[in-house]
Amino acid sequence: MEQTWRWFGPEDVVQLSHVRQTGATGIVTALHHIPYGVVWPVEEIKARKALIESDSSLQLRWSVVESLPVHESIKIGEGRLAPLFGNYRQSLRNLAECGITTVCYNFMPVIDWARTELAFPLPGGGTALRFNAHEYAAFDCFMLQRPRAEADHSPDVLALAKKWFDNSSESDRKRLLANIMAGLPGAFDRYDIPGLRRVLERYKDVDTGQLRENLATFLREIIPVAEEVGIRMCIHPDDPPRSLMGLPRIVSNEDDLGFILSVINSPANGLTLCSGSLGASASNDVPAIAKRFADRIWFAHLRNVSKEPDGSFMEADHLGGDTDMVAVVIALLEEQKRRLEAGVPYWRIPMRPDHGHELLDDVGKPTHPGYPAIGRLKGLAELRGVMTAVAALRSLPL
């Protein structure tokens, strides 16, 4: 697999020279400064690509776009969508013109990944991302005061949520809101409580079936052009794979993925396998999902989580947690072998270590939450060891 690294652009604390020291050679990035729904100009794409390749000694390349965002109006299905679809198609054409042909995107309403703690303490002084079910319930029921929110939480979780809320200070509540909003790196929309209520009102008529249909419309509008220009689109699973704030989530399990890939049966309509997102649900067998959809996986996020009975979970070590990471790696390497033997030119699957712990000298640095250098370096080193061992034992191409 191609070892890649998410880089947030020139302002990222983790520099390109640091990325090369990790052993990664592919860069995963996006033009975060361009507003959602606006065309990515060729000149901007070329400038970012030139920056990545400016030091030839690093031998880095722009491997994957993550993400080319889908405008909220497309998800809701409101207003004049033709210009937004047209702009998205033009961005794909411009990326293909510049030789960038793997595009990760998501269809999560309002927010991307969500956590309630960004610096949960680990033994020895490190920190991890964590989702506490009771803190999320406190936010949903008592801060956001969403109508009928209590029905979405168990009595035990609600009791803990009420206790947390009653004992919380204004700064505790502000921090919780900021933590939940932190899963929008580079986003132009940051919501306060009134803002969240307004955007949720826009979704009042969008249930699971309607959101599925809106995604199907997006795919029908976009995938033919992606196929035409040689781009492989790969949708990212919901993180976490559950409803948040009453909003439907439609990329959460094996059935969802099967539906999405069936809308247009094309190699251009593919999947980002995120083992951590899918692994946050006890009902998901991540290695089985990897095997079933292997021929449509064009990108992989490899990380692990430890789940708790009430729905809470925490980012674990990459080889720890509840997902059998070795089995996931075997599935991906076996798919690579199939592609290579079939003569598929893009047979290698780009992978990146996702959501590392904050460790050692990274503690306290202003990195994006979940994206410190040392924790991801540790994860990449562990995953590289598994990949190398599996490839050697099973005669599989790396």
Retrieve residue 1's tokens. 């697999």
Q: Which of 203, 355, 357, 362 is catalytic?
A: 355
Q: In the sheet that 127-131 helps form, which strands lie side by side, from edge to edge? A: 117-121, 127-131, 313-315, 305-307
Q: Is 18 a catalytic residue?
A: no
What do you get for the CA distance between the two ends of the chain, in Å? Answer: 5
Catalytic residue chosen out of the listed positions 134, 301, 318, 357: 301
Which candidate in 12, 317, 354, 362 is catalytic? Answer: 354
Quick one: DSSP state of residue 318? T
List 98, 274, 317, 357, catalytic entry:
274
DSSP state string for 152-171: GS-HHHHHHHHHHHHH--HH
Residue 354 annotated in active site:
yes
CA distance 184 to 384: 28
Cis peptide before 240 (omega within 30 of 0): yes
CA distance 29 to 23: 17
- The DSSP-derived string for 42-103 is HHHHHHHHHHHHSSGGG--EEEEEE--PPPHHHHHT-S--HHHHHHHHHHHHHHHHTT--EE
Tokens of 392: 């050697």
Catalytic residue status for 98: no
Q: Is 301 a catalytic residue?
A: yes
CB 31 within 8 A of CB 67: no
Q: Which of 134, 236, 318, 357 is catalytic?
A: 236
CB 181 within 8 A of CB 190: yes
Please give the distance of CA 214 from its chain centroid, rounded to a whole number: 20
32 belongs to the catalytic site: no
29 close to 6: Cβ distance less than 8 angstroms: yes
Catalytic residues: 236, 274, 301, 354-355, 371
